[in-house]
RNA sequence: GCCGCCAUCGUCUAGAGGCCCAGGACAUCACCCUUUCAAGGUGAAGAUCGCGGGUUCGAAUCCCGCUGGCGGUACCA
């Protein structure tokens, strides 16, 4: 069994291709087969050189491996279509020789005109076969002629084509509705239909897994196989990945069309793989008595174990970023502190937080660990540990308090800080907590809400961190150190003082 | 327009004729925990299985029609 991913290098790895790659890789592994990559670069106008590397990078980041490809080599190479051109030309010539294809000299202008007229008559656009059975000289006399011909596949005009889709069951087409497609361009480059069939055959592809958008061109492919007398591979059309508006995920409107976006936004490859896998596979949870309750967290091995084309739901899948984000949070929480630190490092660097060697980093990270849902949030939730940040001074006055009361609380807290800093227990979260409990007592802060105004989301938190939310305050202060805390509290007192009363 | 594919809570899905007046996850809401935010726990709300006809003792599951969504209709892939 051999399966292939056939991306065209048009700029970046589309998330849909990554999805397909996962299905390919898992399916091949499931059946002990081989997974190969073939680069479909026959459309020179859309070719972008860096794109090929982006495809490999993306797949590798996701954790997928392939057995053969342009980079990996293999017995069925070359694996770039641009390096296989003569084969396609030979195949086209052979088809012409068999009478299953013919040269067509119609100019693009004539074809446009023909289609316009057909649409005017409300007929489906279909090539009128003006060139069929004519020599070049005969055709030239008719006008609408261009020097270099294309090759068109001669399709049957009646009857039906039926194939078994491994995901969807039987699918039938009416030949009378189909036109003769171009299979070799006038510049000598093969069109997908020819190139892919020749390659699939020569590379021994046994299972063609491709996106749903290919369903309607399957009869063309069947004709090519039929003309050569080849046996059709197993064909399966996978569901499309859709956007929230139910449309295709497009690069222009949706940045997550690019696989690289997920890395940049701080998603872990394991989380993305898990999410994508969940769209096509159900992993039963042996520990749960209710068989309808699946496991939510699983990896490539479980996907391999449970992948089954017949059980892939054929309907389009709307990409749920919220669910991915939630999954990502779970994967982040399962990371060790060391792993998290490594994962977060590039994001900190990119944000200008060069704190890799700072001993405070692991301690701060430990406090933020369970709060992270994306690695890209790290700079924001960590920055105040390392630098004083600007904040809106009005935040120093919590809801329900006036400036004077806030000032009063902050001054009292400031004295408390001093006594802990010079106290016998030293600067620890436990000492700070005990001290502030006693303070709340003395200030007569009885309800949770009142105490919250002091430290929860209150004056002290804002003074020390510049934020109204964050990790437990006393542990945060311990990591920050007494000097920083005192400096920031004094600063906050000044800002409060300069606020109009 | 024509052809094709698809159709279960907002989203992803479980479901392969009786186990389903439909189960789980995300999101939402409430409560618990918590001197903030999370995380965790408990619970609620949310689907007359797109609509209408069949088949059957029995249909989310099979068949037909309709509607809607998507895809294709290129010298793109």
Nucleotide B4, nearest residue via CA and C1': A216
Q: Is the CB of A58 under 7 A from strand B?
A: no
pLDDT value for A356: 87
Q: What are phi and psi of A174, to 5 degrees?
A: -95, 115
A51, A11 in Cβ contact below 8 A?
yes
Nearest nucleotide to A281, CA against C1' atoms: B13
Nearest nucleotide to A165, CA against C1' atoms: B5
Q: Is the CB of A437 under 7 A from strand B?
A: yes
DSSP summary character for residue A19? H
**Torsion angle of the four alpha carbons A325, A327, A330, A334, in this order, in degrees rounded to the nearest 10:** -110
Shortest CA distance to A107 belongs to which of A153, A154, A142, A67? Answer: A142
How many residues are listed for chain A in this entry? 501
Shortest CA distance to A17 belongs to which of A254, A246, A209, A216? Answer: A209
pLDDT digits (tens, 9 = 90+) for A156-183: 999 999 999 999 999 999 999 999 999 9
Q: Is the CB of A278 under 7 A from strand B?
A: yes
User: What Å distances lie between residue A421 and A415, A442, A451, A474, CA to CA?
Assistant: 10, 20, 22, 13
Shortest CA distance to A47 belongs to which of A70, A5, A80? Answer: A80
Nucleotide B72, nearest residue via CA and C1': A216
pLDDT value for A457: 84
Nucleotide B76, nearest residue via CA and C1': A43
Task: State how far Cα A466 lies from the chain centre.
Answer: 34
User: Which residue of the set A251, A253, A258, A360 is catalytic?
Assistant: A251
User: What Å distances lie between residue A335 and A270, A328, A343, A369, CA to CA?
Assistant: 11, 11, 9, 9
Residues 156-175 of A with CB under 7 A from strand B: 168-169, 171-174
E strand or H helix that includes residue A39: none
Asked whether the CA dihedral A347, A353, A357, A359 is positive or negative, the reply is negative
A163, A231 in Cβ contact below 8 A?
no
Nearest nucleotide to A125, CA against C1' atoms: B73
Q: Is the CB of A316 under 7 A from strand B?
A: yes
Helix, strand, or coil here: A336? coil
Confirm whether A253 is a catalytic residue. no
Residues 331-360 of A with CB under 7 A from strand B: 333
Q: Is the CB of A468 under 7 A from strand B?
A: yes
User: What Å distances lie between residue A152 and A119, A137, A179, CA to CA?
Assistant: 22, 18, 9
User: Would you list the DSSP string of A415-476?
Assistant: HHHHHHHTSSS-S-HHHHHHHHHHHHHHHT--SHHHHIIIIISSHHHHHHHS-SS-S-HHHH
The rounded average pLDDT for each run of 10 residues, N- to C-terminus, in chain A (501 residues) is 92 91 96 95 71 93 96 91 93 96 94 88 87 93 91 94 92 92 94 96 96 95 96 94 83 86 96 95 80 85 94 92 94 95 96 93 96 96 94 87 88 92 90 90 81 86 93 95 94 87 60
**For A171 and B5, how far is CA from C1' in angstroms?**
9
d(CA A235, CA A231): 12
Nearest nucleotide to A371, CA against C1' atoms: B38
Q: Is the CB of A472 under 7 A from strand B?
A: yes
Q: Is the CB of A185 under 7 A from strand B?
A: yes
Q: Is the CB of A255 under 7 A from strand B?
A: no
pLDDT value for A201: 96
pLDDT digits (tens, 9 = 90+) for A435-466: 998 898 888 887 777 888 888 888 999 999 99
A185, A193 in Cβ contact below 8 A?
no
Long-range contacts of A337-343 (CB under 8 A, 24+ apart): A337/A362, A337/A365, A337/A366, A337/A369, A340/A365, A340/A369, A340/A372, A341/A365, A343/A268, A343/A375
For A371-423, the three-class secondary structure string (H helix, E strand, C coil) is: HCCCHHHHHHHHHHHHCCCCCCHHHHCCCCCCHHHHHHHHHHHHHHHHHHHCC
Q: What are phi and psi of A39, to 5 degrees?
A: -90, 120
Q: Is the CB of A436 under 7 A from strand B?
A: yes
**For A392 and B34, how far is CA from C1' in angstroms?**
26
User: Would you list the DSSP string of A274-335?
Assistant: HHHHHTT---B-TT-S-TT-B-S---HHHHHHH--GGGS--S-EE--HHHHHHHHHHHHHTS
pLDDT value for A473: 94
Nucleotide B6, nearest residue via CA and C1': A315
Task: State how far Cα A247 lies from the chain centre.
Answer: 16
Residue A87 sits at the vertex; the CA angle it makes with A5 and A97, to the nearest 5 degrees, is 125
Nearest nucleotide to A213, CA against C1' atoms: B71
**For A200 and B52, how far is CA from C1' in angstroms?**
45
Q: Is the CB of A454 under 7 A from strand B?
A: yes
What is this structure's pTM?
0.93
Q: Is the CB of A183 under 7 A from strand B?
A: no
Residues 8-37 of A with CB under 7 A from strand B: 8
E strand or H helix that includes residue A89: helix A85-97
Burial label for A444, CB within 10 Å (0-12, 13-18, 19+), is exposed
Shortest CA distance to A239 belongs to which of A275, A205, A279, A299? Answer: A279
DSSP summary character for residue A179? -
Provide the positions of strand B that have an atom within 7 A of a protein CB.
1-8, 10-16, 20, 23-27, 35-40, 69-77
pLDDT value for A204: 96
pLDDT value for A45: 62
pLDDT value for A404: 87
């Amino acid at each position: 069994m051999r399966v292939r991913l056939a991306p065209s290098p048009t700029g970046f790895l589309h998330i849909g291709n990554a999805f397909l790659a996962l299905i390919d890789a898992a399916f091949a592994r499931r059946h002990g087969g081989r997974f190969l990559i073939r680069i479909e670069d026959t459309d020179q106008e859309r070719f972008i050189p860096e794109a090929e590397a982006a495809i490999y990078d993306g797949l590798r980041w996701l954790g997928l491996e392939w057995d053969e490809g342009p980079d990996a080599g293999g017995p069925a190479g070359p694996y770039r279509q641009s390096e296989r051109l003569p084969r396609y030309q030979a195949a086209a010539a052979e088809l012409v020789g068999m009478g299953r294809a013919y040269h067509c000299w119609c100019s693009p202008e004539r074809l446009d005109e023909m289609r316009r007229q057909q649409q005017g008559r409300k007929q489906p656009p279909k090539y009128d076969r003006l060139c069929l059975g004519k020599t070049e000289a005969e055709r030239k006399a008719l006008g609408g002629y261009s020097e270099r011909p294309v090759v068109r596949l001669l399709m049957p005009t009646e009857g039906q084509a039926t194939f078994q889709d491994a995901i969807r069951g039987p699918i039938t087409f009416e030949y009378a509705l189909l036109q003769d497609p171009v299979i070799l361009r006038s510049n000598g480059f093969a069109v997908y239909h020819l190139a892919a069939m020749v390659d699939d055959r020569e590379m021994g592809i046994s299972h063609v897994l491709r996106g749903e958008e290919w369903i309607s061109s399957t009869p063309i492919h069947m004709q090519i196989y039929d003309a050569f007398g080849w046996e059709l591979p197993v064909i399966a059309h996978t569901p499309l990945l859709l956007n929230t508006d139910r449309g295709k995920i497009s690069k222009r409107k949706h940045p997550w069309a690019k696989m690289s976006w997920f890395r940049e936004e701080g998603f872990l490859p394991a989380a993305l793989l898990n999410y994508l896998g969940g769209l096509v596979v159900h992993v039963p949870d042996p520990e749960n008595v209710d068989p309808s309750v699946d496991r939510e967290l699983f990896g490539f091995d479980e996907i391999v174990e449970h992948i089954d084309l017949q059980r892939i739901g054929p309907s389009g899948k709307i990409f749920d970023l919220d669910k991915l984000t939630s999954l990502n949070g779970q994967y982040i929480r399962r990371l060790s502190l060391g792993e998290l630190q490594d994962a977060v490092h590039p994001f900190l660097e990119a944000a200008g937080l060069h704190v890799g060697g700072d001993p405070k980093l692991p301690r701060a990270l430990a406090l933020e660990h369970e709060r992270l849902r994306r690695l890209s949030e790290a700079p924001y939730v960590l920055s105040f540990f390392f630098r004083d940040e600007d904040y809106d001074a009005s935040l120093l006055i919590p809801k329900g308090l006036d400036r004077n009361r806030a000032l009063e609380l902050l001054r009292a807290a400031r004295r408390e800080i001093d006594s802990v800093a010079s106290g016998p227990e030293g600067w620890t979260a436990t000492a700070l907590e005990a001290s502030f409990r006693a303070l709340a007592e003395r200030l007569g802060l009885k309800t949770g809400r009142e105490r919250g105004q002091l430290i929860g989301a209150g004056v002290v938190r804002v003074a020390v961190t510049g934020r109204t939310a964050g990790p437990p305050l006393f542990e945060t202060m311990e990591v920050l150190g007494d000097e920083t805390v005192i400096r920031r509290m004094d600063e906050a007192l000044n800002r409060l003082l300069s606020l109009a009363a």
